[in-house]
Amino acid sequence: MASALEHFVNNVTSLSSQGNYGEVVKYVSKSTEVLAKNVAHLDTVLATLEPQAVSLGVMAVLCVRLQNTTHTDANIDTLHATVAEFINVCSEEQIKYAPDMMADLCGSYADLLVAGNCAMRGIEVLSTAIRKTQESPLHLTSIHAHLVHLCLVSKCFKPALKFMDVDIMDISKERGSYDVKHFLLYYYYGGMIYTAVKNYDRAQYFFRVCITTPALAVSHIMLEAFKKYILVSLILEGRIGRIPKYASLVVTRFIKPLSQVYWDLGVAFCTNCPDKVCSVISKNQETFTRDQNMGLVKQCLSALYKKNIQRLTRTFLTLSLADVANRVQLTSPQEAQKYILNMIDEGEIHASINQRDGMVVFLDNPEKYNSPTMMAHLDKEMQLCMEVERRLQAMEEEIVVNPQYVQKVLGPQEDEGPTPSSAQSTSFSIVSSM
Amino acid sequence: MASMEVDEDVAAEATSSSQSVAVESSSQAAGNTSNFTAPTSPAPPAQPATGGGSGSALSDVSPGNSVMASAGTVGSVSVSLHPLVILNISEHWTRQRAQEVTSEVQVLGALIGKQTGRHVEIMNSFELSYDMLDGNIIINREYYTLKEEQYKQVFSDLDLLGWYTTGDTPGPPDLLVHKQICDLLDSPIFLKLNPMARHTDLPVSIYESVLDLVNGVPTLLLVELQYTLATEEAERIGVDHVARMSSHDVQESSIVAENLQAQYSAIKMLASRVRLIAEYVKASQRGEVEFNHEILRQVNALAHRLPVLNSEKFRGEFYNQCNDVALMSYLGTITKCCNTMNRFINRFNLLHERLAMGRRMRGLFF
């Protein structure tokens, strides 16, 4: 049925040249079946359509093509190349009319890459795609989730970090096809990436966002995120992270029994006794390995030693390395020295080691807070704070002019007729709180 | 701003010259009104500075009786007056006037403060209740005693110093009241505030009484006293605040912001001038401007006069202070942000309130 395809090509080209992109989108969505039936010929169609002028058409064709192919396909390489080239040259203006299609395209593309073990190819491509489809740098799209996934699989984190370091303000709806799964996945994978680069603070934040998503049922993604949340909190703060109050009820009620093992680990951690922690770990080794959290668990154990060393600074001024090893239950003074050196490097402790005596002297924090750098730091924090306040005010304005809101505020006066005094006072207080 | 000397000398002499008639027959109320309404002398008592010819009294004979001692009598004590007292009196008078139908209002009250040797400090005041008996003012003793007791409880070291009233120049009715106060206190101070004064100086006069022999009759006469304004820090801030509140209807920016604005413009001007000088020097160096040795010498001298504080210790302390201030502003920003967030969340909840809550529950949120 080549004629149907020719028909499609002609229509799409003419409509696009007219600039009538809305029509193009409608037409294209109607003709997906036609395209699906003629999968075999789609490659030729791709050859005829020019990606820049007829982006929407090309995109639709690619979507269908990718959906109907597996990673073992013969000419998968050329297909990948085509997709990459398309995303590089497509016109943003046209794409904005069909963000959901773009998301689909990127989704199938990413899946194929992962299945074909060549995830790294897609990173740059998806970065470009995100930049082209984002309504603003602060919008979250489903492509973000795919990008992060690719980065994680290929262990190449920097490109993702560029996107993740920006605080998200809004979610692009993609005409209804944005799914909460993408949101959860973005934050879950993002948390894992941050853990890998040892930015535990932000990792904890990402996991926390994941588990505090409003939900009516616990999703597996949330569950995994919660397990990692506990582990990262143990490494970062030395105690089990608190589930925030604004997490939905199902989470607070059901997540604990589902991840009992991790709670036990956390409890053992809080006793500051490495033996107990080791026993819990060895008892539940299977569970940890199955969840692929064994690496994090081992990091927890070393974090426990660090925590104990830090507690020593509160009691002692100087200590010999042998004593340190004894008190923290490390195996040898050399290991204690290694730990302390690492901690001094990372700035977690202020101490100096006298190698002749084998003594450690714990020092106070030398920060006097009287340097220009500190002032610059404070200034930066203040700017962030003011930025947040500005955004909040903008959001508040949106609410205040919302007709629904106005209705709710003035509602009681109109509906209840001769209002009882309590309702009236309520409405006055509502108005005064406006 | 701490103390302001009010030169009432000349005004006093103008007053006394216009009224210093040695007419001292027994006073009657009727006679006194003519005293007030017909100042026939060149300088009406409200004008400062102009007329004050000393001792050229007896110029014009004004009818009525004077209660002032002859010009040139020197007071025996020096007086400091706190602005709080002036505020109290004016507030009392304004309140009274707002309540009464008649436009002529006279208020009366007591002055309290401290007296050490020959210095009197009037710090506070309170109102007194009085009755009119045959057109004379009689002070209500019980009320006075009650109030004094109460004030003693709060301000244990302030004693009764005198009394105040409102009106124009003092006359015989004032002397009557003064005599009553003399029963309570040995030599009271008398303060008169003129709320209808037209001149811009402080319309407050302070007198003390002396017993003089006038025509063989020992009479009580008033001697005007010099006074200064004294104040303490807290009082100054409070009074300043009240004064501003009453003068401005709309206070857009905070007073701190105004102060800082003034400093900011001053520093901006300094910076622009320094820049100008630097530009000139650079231009002379480049040769664009003629090399004028005199100006350059002056610039050199100026630069040497500047305090140069570049030591390590100074830097440390300076940044310490800077960071403290920055921390406080940071705290302020965070608080403001929290406030906005709280409001936003309240409205958000209100907007997306579940229907199950119902209208009756709405009261719980407020």
Q: Do the chains contact at B340 and A375, CB–CB below 8 Å?
A: no
Quick check: A359 pLDDT over 50? Answer: yes
- Let me know whether A117 and A147 are in one domain: yes
Phi, psi values for residue B100, rounded to 5°: -85, 155
Quick check: A345 pLDDT over 60? Answer: yes
Pairwise CA distance, residues A156 & A148, whole Å = 10
Phi, psi values for residue B269, rounded to 5°: -65, -45
Residue A382 lies inside a defined structural domain of this protein? no
CA-derived radius of gyration, chain A: 28
A379 vs B316, B319, B326: nearest CB: B326
Kindly state the average pLDDT of the residues A53-60: 79
Residue A375 lies inside a defined structural domain of this protein? no
pLDDT digits (tens, 9 = 90+) for B19-46: 443 344 444 444 444 344 333 433 333 3
Kindly state the average pLDDT of the residues B278-298: 84
pLDDT of residue A131: 87
Run of H or E residues at A319: strand A318-320
Q: Which of B146, B362, B182 is nearest to A420 (CA)?
A: B362
Q: Sort A64 into a burial class: Cβ within 10 Å, 0-12 / 13-18 / 19+.
A: buried
Average of per-residue pLDDT values in chain A = 83
Q: Sort A186 into a burial class: Cβ within 10 Å, 0-12 / 13-18 / 19+.
A: buried
Kindly state the average pLDDT of the residues B50-71: 45
Q: What percent of chain B has pLDDT over 90?
A: 13
Cross-strand partners of B193: B166, B204
Q: Which of A289, A426, A423 is nearest to B365 (CA)?
A: A426
B350 vs A372, A405, A423: nearest CB: A405
Residue spans of beta strands (DSSP E) within A120-277: 139-140, 170-171
Quick check: B272 pLDDT over 90? Answer: yes
Residue A419 lies inside a defined structural domain of this protein? no
pLDDT digits (tens, 9 = 90+) for A361-419: 888 888 878 788 888 999 999 999 999 999 899 989 988 888 888 888 887 665 544 44
- Let me know whether A7 and A133 are in one domain: yes
pLDDT of residue A205: 92
Quick check: B59 pLDDT over 80? Answer: no
Quick check: A426 pLDDT over 50? Answer: no
* Residues of chain A contacting B, Cβ within 8 Å: 368-372, 374-375, 378-379, 381-382, 385-386, 388-389, 392-393, 395-396, 399-400, 402, 404-405, 408-409, 411-412, 422-423, 426, 429-430, 433
Pairwise CA distance, residues A219 & A231, whole Å = 19
Quick check: B342 pLDDT over 90? Answer: yes
Kindly state the average pLDDT of the residues A281-294: 86
Quick check: A428 pLDDT over 50? Answer: no
Kindly state the average pLDDT of the residues A76-95: 82
- Let me know whether A278 and A251 are in one domain: yes
Quick check: B14 pLDDT over 60? Answer: no
Residue spans of beta strands (DSSP E) within chain B: 78-81, 108-116, 119-127, 130-133, 136-139, 159-166, 189-193, 204-214, 217-225, 227-229
> Which is higher by pLDDT, B140 or B290?
B140
Pairwise CA distance, residues A411 & B359, whole Å = 10
Among the three residues A368, A383, A405, which one is the final residue of a domain in this structure?
A368
The answer to which of A30-44, A278-292, B188-202 has the lowest mean pLDDT is A30-44
Pairwise CA distance, residues A5 & A43, whole Å = 11
Among the three residues A157, A173, A189, which one is the final residue of a domain in this structure?
A173
Asked whether the beta carbons of A29 and A68 are under 8 A apart, the reply is no
- Let me know whether A2 and A141 are in one domain: yes
Residue A183 lies inside a defined structural domain of this protein? yes
- Let me know whether A157 and A254 are in one domain: no
Kindly state the average pLDDT of the residues B267-272: 93
Q: Which residue range(s) make up the domain with A242?
A: 179-310
Quick check: B269 pLDDT over 90? Answer: yes
pLDDT category at B341 given cuts 50, 70, 90 is very high
Q: Could you count the other beta carbons within 10 Å of the beta carbon of residue A7?
A: 13
Kindly state the average pLDDT of the residues A222-247: 86
Amino acid identity at B257? A
Pairwise CA distance, residues B362 & B366, whole Å = 8
Q: Which two tokens stand for residue B22?
A: 């040695």
The answer to which of A314-328, B7-21, B133-147 has the lowest mean pLDDT is B7-21
pLDDT of residue A434: 47
Q: Do the chains contact at A399 and B344, CB–CB below 8 Å?
A: yes
Phi, psi values for residue B203, rounded to 5°: -85, 45
Instruction: Give the residue carrying structure tokens 């001792």.
Output: B55
Pairwise CA distance, residues A236 & A300, whole Å = 9
Quick check: A330 pLDDT over 60? Answer: yes
Number of Cα atoms under 13 Å in the Cβ half of residue B36: 13
Q: Taking CA atoms, what residue in A is nearest to B338?
A: A389
pLDDT of residue A431: 45
- Let me know whether A249 and A322 are in one domain: no
A389 vs B317, B330, B336: nearest CB: B336
pLDDT of residue B99: 87
Among the three residues A290, A310, A330, which one is the final residue of a domain in this structure?
A310
Quick check: B365 pLDDT over 80? Answer: no
pLDDT of residue B66: 64
How many domains does chain A divide into? 3
Q: Taking CA atoms, what residue in B is nearest to A402?
A: B351
Instruction: Give the residue carrying structure tokens 């309170």.
Output: B126
Q: What percent of chain A has pLDDT over 90?
A: 8
Residues of B in contact with A374 (CB under 8 A): 319, 323
pLDDT of residue B250: 57
- Let me know whether A287 and A324 are in one domain: no
- Let me know whether A265 and A323 are in one domain: no
Run of H or E residues at A379: helix A372-400
Q: Do the chains contact at B333 and A389, CB–CB below 8 Å?
A: yes
Task: Report the CATH number that the domain containing residue A28 is assigned in CATH.
Answer: 1.25.40
Q: Do the chains contact at B350 and A400, CB–CB below 8 Å?
A: no
Residues of A in contact with B320 (CB under 8 A): 368-370
Q: Do the chains contact at B362 and A412, CB–CB below 8 Å?
A: yes
Phi, psi values for residue B78, rounded to 5°: -105, 145
Asked whether the beta carbons of B91 and B126 are under 8 A apart, the reply is no
Q: Do the chains contact at A370 and B320, CB–CB below 8 Å?
A: yes
Range with the largest mean pLDDT of A59-63, A308-312, A419-423: A308-312
pLDDT category at A91 given cuts 50, 70, 90 is confident
Q: Do the chains contact at B363 and A426, CB–CB below 8 Å?
A: yes
Q: Which of A46, A97, A98 is nearest to A69 (CA)?
A: A46
Sign, CA torsion B250/B256/B262/B267:
negative
Asked whether the beta carbons of B86 and B202 are under 8 A apart, the reply is yes
Residue A378 lies inside a defined structural domain of this protein? no
Pairwise CA distance, residues A274 & A272, whole Å = 6
Pairwise CA distance, residues B342 & B365, whole Å = 13
The answer to which of A57-61, A266-270, B224-228 has the lowest mean pLDDT is A57-61
- Let me know whether A226 and A103 are in one domain: no
Pairwise CA distance, residues A391 & B216, whole Å = 87
What lies within 8 Å, CB to CB, of B222 at 6+ separation is B67, B68, B69, B170, B174, B175, B178, B190, B207, B208, B209, B210
- Let me know whether A53 and A168 are in one domain: yes
Residue A376 lies inside a defined structural domain of this protein? no
Pairwise CA distance, residues A140 & A153, whole Å = 21
Residue A327 lies inside a defined structural domain of this protein? yes
Residue A417 lies inside a defined structural domain of this protein? no
Task: Report the CATH number that the domain containing residue A359 is assigned in CATH.
Answer: 1.10.10.10
Quick check: A259 pLDDT over 70? Answer: yes
- Let me know whether A2 and A80 are in one domain: yes
- Let me know whether A41 and A165 are in one domain: yes
Asked whether the beta carbons of A16 and A24 are under 8 A apart, the reply is yes
Q: Which of A272, A294, A208, A270 is nearest to A244 (CA)?
A: A208
Run of H or E residues at B95: helix B83-99
Q: Do the chains contact at A382 and B348, CB–CB below 8 Å?
A: no
Q: Quick check: pTM over 0.90?
A: no
Q: What percent of chain A has pLDDT over 70?
A: 94
Average of per-residue pLDDT values in chain B = 75
Strands B217-225 and A359-362: unpaired
